A and B are shown apart, each in its own frame.
Chain A
Amino acid sequence: MQSIDDQDLGTPAAKSEQLVTLEIDGREVTVAAGTSIMRAAALADVQIPRLCATEALAPFGSCRLCIVQIEGRNGFPASCTTPVDAGLKVRTRGERLEGLRRNVMELYMSDHPLDPFQCKAGGKCELHQMAAAVGLEQMRYPAGHNHLDLPVDDSNPYFAFDPTRCILCSRCVRACDEVQGTFALTIDGRGFSSLMSPGQHQHYADSECVSCGACVQACPTDALMEKSLLERGMAERAVITTCGYCGVGCSFKAELRGDRIVRMVPNRNGLPNHGHSCVKGRFAWGYATHPDRALKPMIRKRISDPWTEVSWPEAIDYAASEFKRVQKQHGRGAVGGITSSRCTNEEAYLVQKLVRAAFGNNNVDTCARVCHSPTGYGLKTAFGTPAGTQDFDSVNASDVLVVIGANPTEGHPVFASIMKRRIREGARLMVIDPRAIELIRMPHVEADYHLQLQPGTNVAVLNALAHVAVTEGLANERFVGERCEPAEYAAWKKFIVEQRNSPEAVERMTGVPAEKIRGAARLYARGPNSAIYYGLGVTEHSQGSTAVLAMANLAMVTGNLGRPGVGVNPLRGQNNVQGANDVGSFPHELTGYRHISDPKLRAEFEAAWGAKLDPEPGLRIPNMFDAALDGSFRGLYVEGEDVAQSDPNTHHVTAALSAMEIVVVQDIFLNETAKYAHVFLPGSSFLEKDGTFTNAERRISRVRKVMEPLAGYEDWQVTCLLSNALGYPMEYSHPSEIMDEIARLTPTFSGVSYEKLDRLGSVQWPCNAEAPEGTTVMHVGQFVRGKGRMLVTEYIPTDERTSARYPLILTTGRILTQYNVGTQTRRTRNVLWHLEDRLEIHPHDAEQRGIREGGWVELTSRAGATTLRAQLTDRVPAGVVYTTFHHPESGANVVTTENSDWATNCPEYKVTAVQVMPTRRIPERPTAEQIIRAAEQQIGK
């Protein structure tokens, strides 16, 4: 079912700019050429009955309700599939038409439960709406064959399929094909026996379905319904907000009945997602009201003590007094804070403001440190701004898509669907990844090239691609001549053409056949519009920043920047990792990526904030831990991040946390880090507050409060309380005032306001006087920094190398149904799809070690050891093992090391030398049945 307040014009908008005028029911209507008669009529407020048509899908022409008459043409054409033509005279009403429609509707109802009160979709059922619209009043057919005794398929955790309510309109099948691109559904059988079926006579749960929810949203009746709607009742109102999971930042409508949320449904007008969603944003929101939510402030003197529930003032006062005590005893720089990429821009801004103004130092960092900090360094160095160059819709103009170190179908599923659609339209695909990700081959999508490189050799492969582009005469010399620093280009060119950067020279080291690199380079360079999309497989390396620079070089030398369809684009992991960075979360930068050492800038902030600012950069997260073990760093305010689970080398992190005197954790759950905390401040989920998130395409979208914060305060209010207690007053009555302050202090945000966001839906920064409605594509005409910089990107192998003791390389990734360390998704029915993390190992490596499918193995690195179950697969090449890290007991970060990116200290999560051996020491972990039972208990099934 569509969202309760969606307006649907029946068929998608036409792209033509040419206008056509026709007559509909005597009214003159002017629309774009290619528009359907149905849409043209709807635009003129003439509603033509329909069931199989929706503007979210290409027209289909099956329901036959939308027939019209056209002067001079025979018969009764369907208005959804008939395009307008100049001068047409269309009639949508009349006894003949209405009689036929009524008769067709009567046929529908002859195989449908007749009692409208039984309809679970209530007044929102399009079938019943249409039955009323066409004036169906009687059922003349005697009882006959029907499908009214078919069983309901409720195998999916989130929705049920009731075939007795299905009208075979194929909207679900088409949504799965056109929108999601999974092709999991079909119409099975012929004629009267036709039935919608996932796979071949499968249950939903056993099929290829990825539970994106597109089919459920597309269904016009109560055949496909969210279980939450069935359980909680139909919505009465909807609030537009932004998803709190990944960096795609899908716009959603939270539908409510009273004050209770009944479902999340993607917003059709949302620009990142255009009405599409994934299983996480669409369904996995139950964690917000999960019984595990910690709703009371708590304190304790020592981390070995039990928690004591206290009042808000007591907790805040205790935290503030402890920070003050530590600073008094150990110096101003002995404390710091971590802003959250999961919280809003306004909240991240306040935390860094608290650190800089109330703590009086710059020891503030954010979890971008451990994911995309090399993106910040690399893209800022090369282009002048540390953000993706395009909007998502840019893909629709791409001819070649390059995916490097990212797994969009698992990590950024909604964007993956946009990519897949473009590929189905004919764009070519190149994947650079050690692992055979799903995108390499799936229905109607196949990569032209999969450069299956050894983990850690990204820079060598990227250099070789650029080498081919330059040496084979495919460089865009005009672009480089006009747009890039000439001296640096000359030096880079001299470097890149060297034989050691040739595909042949790097073939052995990278494991990628030279011919493949050459072919891929030609494909990319010839484009004409080639776009790079990348993820943490690029950044989380010792040469993460170098790899980002190398991608920038490749794009510049081939001229793939500054227009739709091209660019270099990070796929951001967290909903607001871009935003948290934008608003000054890095220790060396104030808002808008401006260095703290700039006296003029500091003066501006000092005046605005009424506080003295430290001119020196502060500690980054890993430095904080090092300093803690050193004794010079003893207090930490962590908002919405679980460093104990998500940061590398867990032993090191927990030792550092244990060494601190005051750790304040502000979170919605008692996470792993809270085990080392002295004060716990209950946080609020994205449903409980107002604010903004900024997604991977620099798009600032509103987060709107759907329900009151369960613990009493929104996170920004908690930060204000703490700051006030520290003696630095923060007075805001609404997050809009915080955004106004950011806008005043930040040139790239100067045009941003809640009023504008409400009006436009969202804006992409830079948004200022020059670009009042924001900027979709950056670096048009010239780079933000003026001339683009092409730095030499020598490949330097990581120190983390295999040895006789650690002969395999471990790399990590994600799975669709889970999110990061699983804090949220493990507290939803999503856990039913991913009961544990497993270690993927190539059958060859497994056989050598006597490892069997599903057998327990010990995974050992120089840093530590953990135990997992093995999964034998050739998705990974021999010599490489892989795991996800969604469950804390998997302890993937117990084995990861402290190696980090040279420029930003971003940890080298993606390369760890390990050994894997079968083990008889089976850890005490719950069995699958126990996990399922526990999960079902948790989700209240």
Chain B
Amino acid sequence: MSVRVYIPRDSGALSMGAEAVAGAVAAEARRRRADVAIVRNGSRGLYWLEPMVEVATESGRVAYGPVTSDDVGSLFEAGFLAGGKHRLALGATDEIPYLKRQERLTFGRVGIVDPLSLDDYLEHGGYRALERALELSGAQVVEELSASGLRGRGGAGFPAGIKWKTTLQTEAKRKYIVCNADEGDSGTFADRMIMEGDPFVLLEGMTIAGIAVGATQGYIYLRSEYPHALRTLNAAIAAAAARGYLGENVRECGKPFRIEVRVGAGAYICGEETAMLESLEGRRGMVRYKPPVPAVEGLFGAPTVVNNVITLASVPVIIEKGGNFYKDFGMGRSRGTSPFQLAGNLKHPGLVEKAFGVTLSELVYEYGGGTASGRPLRAVQVGGPLGSYFPASMLEVAMDYEAVAAQGGILGHGGIVVFDDTVDLARMARYAMEFCALESCGKCTPCRIGSTRGMELIDHIIGNRDRAANAALLRDLCDTMTNASLCALGGLTPLPVMSALKHFPQDFGLPGERA
């Protein structure tokens, strides 16, 4: 029997040379006439160890990493096919503390299965949730979801059950499920890992949503920068359709559900749900006002559930194991788990799926291992480019929607970017405004013009021109953007700016704020 060797096909691993490693393993195996079956899995999310090669041994999967193609010969020499000792050996994969201490519900199969194999998915419990959902009424499915306490993982944290219920209860000839896969936040990669590592779980979640609320068509709005995800998703959709998991009569239940992938054109704003709908309809990605909310009047004017990849990918585990199972994780009003994505200046960047409530400090130090540079950590930006900067003194904050908000931040899509003491927060604040000026849809004035003015004011402050007055004006501008912008882009851009001003005034040449 051949030995299964796992070499990730995940973009992160590929960027570290996984393709060459896979080639080298295959060549070396041929040369040695070793009976090897290479499985191109997703990433386990331990990115500092990528490419991480795993071997299925009798005692389970063992890992080696980070492997380069130059290491392949020595790995064979060391008998890695039988779990042999090597300087890159990491031992049993599941016992790696970084993984072991996680609570992988949504990411349960990522890195384990072959993302293109429907059989593999089924063997690992896939589509059990759909089978259960088909036995329930739409309302029962929605109830289960509501019971789980699942909130939108895209950033806004809106209860998914309420969205679904609204769409379910809105009468219409046609309804849609739209998956927001326009993962544009800096330092985030959870959506991509799901789509590249376990695409069927997303398809299953969308199918459950469609059957439950009465939608017949699903769209995955994928950012253009994810070509591998596109290929994987399309292959998975074809495989699911070929076996009746998608199509005119899903699993003989009498209801149709189809999924198509639509690729964006590089606009960050299209991650905003209404701009995304405009884009899907073939128009310029421009934010719509709400209400009406998409759940009532969304794509092509029809009731539409718009959920993020992680939200939808979390549905199967909830439906399979029950809302209460999921709800038992987490704290306060933040139930279940969230994939925190550790990035920036860290020793151990990667994906950590943990129940809500884990502290920022745990994530950054215990998982992330502190700064990669070894210099003192100075700031952590939580929640993407529109998230607040937390100073090193505030890392005890629990990762929970409300707790983070209480500290003036947002959890967003779970992106965590770490900076050491070489960072200049005034520059970072300027960057936030610049980002907004570039990525604003241009519809509302506070965002369109305010962002450019903000950038200019920070330049003046940095350049010490009328510093105090311009700083006061900047604060006033931020207040206007927060309160008068049409959507979250203009509304949240002040967060990194104001947090930088508040916690790092010296970077702006300003005196410290009185507590």
Residues of B within 8 A of A187 (CB): 284, 286, 442
Q: A81-B289, A108-B449, A145-B452 are in contact. Are A191 and B440 (CB under 8 A)?
A: yes
Give the interface segment out of A57-65, A275-283, A409-417.
A57-65
Expressed in whole angstroms, the minimum distance between the Cβ of A599 and any Cβ of chain B is 62
Residues of B within 8 A of A111 (CB): 449
Expressed in whole angstroms, the minimum distance between the Cβ of A299 and any Cβ of chain B is 64
Interface hits, A185-200 → B, CB 8 Å: 186-187, 189-194
Interface hits, B432-476 → A, CB 8 Å: 436-446, 448-453, 456-457, 460, 465-466, 469-470, 473, 476
Q: Is the CB of A104 within 8 A of B445?
A: yes
Interface string of B183-201 (1 = CB under 8 A from A): 0000000000000000000
Q: A100-B480, A141-B456 are in contact. Are A189 and B442 (CB under 8 A)?
A: yes
Q: Does A597 contact B (CB under 8 A)?
A: no
Q: Does B484 contact A (CB under 8 A)?
A: yes
Residue of A nearest to B286 (CB): A187
Residue of B nearest to A103 (CB): B480
Q: Does A151 contact B (CB under 8 A)?
A: no
Interface string of B480-509 (1 = CB under 8 A from A): 100111100000000000000000000000
Contact residue range for chain B?
Answer: 35 or more
Q: Does A940 contact B (CB under 8 A)?
A: no
Q: A61-B486, A103-B476, A141-B456 are in contact. Are A190 and B438 (CB under 8 A)?
A: yes
Interface hits, B224-270 → A, CB 8 Å: 267, 269
Q: Is the CB of A107 within 8 A of B446?
A: yes
What is the bound-complex CA distance between A129 and B500, given in angstroms? 37
Residue of A nearest to B290 (CB): A81
Q: A59-B289, A100-B484 are in contact. Are A107 and B440 (CB under 8 A)?
A: no
Residue of A nearest to B487 (CB): A61
Interface string of A154-192 (1 = CB under 8 A from B): 000000000000011010000000000000001101111
What is the bound-complex CA distance between A81 and B290, given in angstroms? 8
Residues of B within 8 A of A61 (CB): 289, 443-444, 486
Q: Is the CB of A194 within 8 A of B442?
A: yes
Neighbour of A194 across the interface among B448, B465, B473, CB < 8 A: B448
Residues of B within 8 A of A732 (CB): none
Neighbour of A60 across the interface among B289, B436, B476, CB < 8 A: B289
Q: Does B403 contact A (CB under 8 A)?
A: no
Q: Does A140 contact B (CB under 8 A)?
A: yes
Neighbour of A107 across the interface among B267, B286, B291, B453, CB < 8 A: B453
Q: Is the CB of B486 within 8 A of A64?
A: yes
Residues of A within 8 A of B476 (CB): 103
What is the bound-complex CA distance between A715 and B63, given in angstroms? 99
Neighbour of B484 across the interface among A76, A110, A168, A191, CB < 8 A: A76
Residues of A within 8 A of B440 (CB): 190-192, 194
Q: Is the CB of B445 within 8 A of A192?
A: no
Q: Is the CB of A75 within 8 A of B444?
A: no
Neighbour of B486 across the interface among A62, A100, A145, CB < 8 A: A62
Q: Does B88 contact A (CB under 8 A)?
A: no
Q: Does B477 contact A (CB under 8 A)?
A: yes
Q: A191-B440, A192-B449 are in contact. Are A76 and B483 (CB under 8 A)?
A: yes
Residues of A within 8 A of B442 (CB): 168, 187, 189-194
Q: Does A67 contact B (CB under 8 A)?
A: yes
Q: Is the CB of A191 within 8 A of B456?
A: no
Neighbour of B445 across the interface among A59, A75, A83, A107, CB < 8 A: A107
Q: Is the CB of B289 within 8 A of A110?
A: no
Q: A78-B289, A104-B480 are in contact. Are A64 and B444 (CB under 8 A)?
A: yes
Contact residue range for chain A?
Answer: 35 or more
Expressed in whole angstroms, the minimum distance between the Cβ of A787 and any Cβ of chain B is 40
Residues of A within 8 A of B267 (CB): 190
Q: Does A142 contact B (CB under 8 A)?
A: yes
Expressed in whole angstroms, the minimum distance between the Cβ of A114 and any Cβ of chain B is 14
Interface string of A246-268 (1 = CB under 8 A from B): 00000000000000000000000
Q: Is the CB of B439 within 8 A of A190?
A: yes
Q: Is the CB of B484 within 8 A of A104?
A: yes
What is the bound-complex CA distance between A82 and B289, given in angstroms? 9
Residues of A within 8 A of B473 (CB): 140-141
Neighbour of B437 across the interface among A59, A141, A168, A191, CB < 8 A: A191
What is the bound-complex CA distance between A61 and B269, given in angstroms? 17
Residues of A within 8 A of B479 (CB): 100, 103
Q: A64-B485, A75-B483 are in contact. Are A110 and B449 (CB under 8 A)?
A: yes
Q: Which of B437, B469, B480 has most chain A Cβ within 10 Å? A: B480
Q: Is the CB of A170 within 8 A of B443?
A: yes
Q: Is the CB of B480 within 8 A of A107?
A: yes
Expressed in whole angstroms, the minimum distance between the Cβ of A596 and any Cβ of chain B is 56
Q: A103-B484, A190-B269, A191-B451 are in contact. Are A108 and B439 (CB under 8 A)?
A: no
Interface string of A642-680 (1 = CB under 8 A from B): 000000000000000000000000000000000000000
Expressed in whole angstroms, the minimum distance between the Cβ of B198 and any Cβ of chain A is 33
Q: Does A144 contact B (CB under 8 A)?
A: yes
Q: A144-B452, A191-B438, A194-B448 are in contact. Are A103 and B477 (CB under 8 A)?
A: yes
Expressed in whole angstroms, the minimum distance between the Cβ of A270 and any Cβ of chain B is 29
Residues of B within 8 A of A193 (CB): 442
Q: A103-B477, A168-B442 are in contact. Are A192 and B486 (CB under 8 A)?
A: no
Residues of B within 8 A of A100 (CB): 479-480, 483-484
Q: Is the CB of B436 within 8 A of A191?
A: yes
Expressed in whole angstroms, the minimum distance between the Cβ of B401 and any Cβ of chain A is 16
Residues of A within 8 A of B469 (CB): 140
Q: Is the CB of B269 within 8 A of A104?
A: no
Residues of A within 8 A of B437 (CB): 191-192
What is the bound-complex CA distance between A193 and B442, given in angstroms? 8
What is the bound-complex CA distance between A187 and B284, given in angstroms? 8
What is the bound-complex CA distance between A83 and B297, given in angstroms? 15
Residue of B nearest to A189 (CB): B442
Residues of A within 8 A of B456 (CB): 141-142, 144-145
Residue of B nearest to A51 (CB): B445
What is the bound-complex CA distance between A62 and B449, given in angstroms? 12
Q: Is the CB of B445 within 8 A of A63?
A: yes
What is the bound-complex CA distance between A63 and B485, given in angstroms? 9
Neighbour of A108 across the interface among B445, B466, B486, CB < 8 A: B445
Q: Is the CB of A64 within 8 A of B453?
A: no
Q: A103-B480, A192-B437, A192-B451 are in contact. Are A63 and B289 (CB under 8 A)?
A: no
Q: Is the CB of B483 within 8 A of A63?
A: no
Q: Is the CB of A191 within 8 A of B448?
A: yes
Interface hits, B391-438 → A, CB 8 Å: 436-438
Q: Which of A145, A189, A192 has most chain B Cβ within 10 Å? A: A192
Interface string of A365-407 (1 = CB under 8 A from B): 0000000000000000000000000000000000000000000
Residues of B within 8 A of A64 (CB): 444-446, 484-486
Residues of B within 8 A of A170 (CB): 443
What is the bound-complex CA distance between A189 and B442, given in angstroms? 8
Interface hits, A35-68 → B, CB 8 Å: 59-64, 67
Residues of B within 8 A of A144 (CB): 452-453, 456
Expressed in whole angstroms, the minimum distance between the Cβ of A647 and any Cβ of chain B is 48
The list of the 9 closest CB pairs from A to B, nearest first, reads: A194-B442, A61-B289, A191-B440, A81-B289, A103-B480, A144-B456, A107-B449, A64-B484, A192-B452
Question: Which B residues are within 8 Å of any A CB, using their own CB?
Answer: 267, 269, 284, 286, 289, 291, 436-446, 448-453, 456-457, 460, 465-466, 469-470, 473, 476-477, 479-480, 483-486
| Between-chain CB contacts (< 8 Å), 21 pairs | A59-B289, A61-B443, A61-B444, A62-B445, A64-B486, A67-B483, A82-B291, A100-B484, A103-B477, A103-B479, A107-B450, A107-B453, A141-B453, A141-B456, A141-B473, A142-B465, A144-B452, A190-B267, A192-B449, A192-B452, A194-B442
17 further A-B pairs in the complex, CB-CB below 8 A; given A75-B483, A190-B267: A62-B444, A63-B444, A64-B484, A64-B485, A64-B486, A82-B291, A83-B291, A103-B480, A103-B484, A104-B445, A107-B446, A108-B445, A142-B466, A145-B456, A167-B445, A170-B443, A190-B439
